[in-house]
Amino acid sequence: MADAKILVVDDEPAIRNLIHRFLAKQDYQMESAEDGKTALAIFEQFNPDLVILDVNLPDANGYDLCKEMQSRTGVFVLMLTSRTDEADKIRGFHTGADDYIT
């Protein structure tokens, strides 16, 4: 079986690098993007099994990106964000997130 493919979308290089370094040790195929436009382009080519997605991106809203990605492939989306408000979590699940970690 091929290794799972994970796309990390976060505008913070330190967070992208930390997730990348941790998951690369697990033999996952990894790609990352710092904004929504790049994320969608990589998403199309890479066809990931999981997207780890920040809500606050410089050019896009993570909720909208989640909805767009899931409408294309039904990919699993894990939202990773500093937004801890209950309404934000509910919005994340309503847009198709499979999990929401603050």
Question: What does pTM read for this prediction?
Answer: 0.90
User: Between 91 and 46, where is the model more confident?
Assistant: 46
Reduce the DSSP state of residue 7 to 3 states and report it: strand
> 32: domain CATH number?
3.40.50.2300
Q: Give the DSSP per-residue string, 36-79.
A: HHHHHHHHHHH--SEEEE-SB-SSSBHHHHHHHHHHHH--EEEE
Reduce the DSSP state of residue 34 to 3 states and report it: coil
Number of domain units in the chain: 1
Residue range 54-90, pLDDT digits in tens: 999 999 999 999 999 999 998 999 998 887 788 888 8
Quote the domain boundaries for residue 46. 5-101
∠ CA 63-35-3, nearest 5°, is 85
Residue range 9-68, pLDDT digits in tens: 999 999 999 998 888 788 899 999 999 999 999 999 999 999 999 999 999 999 999 999
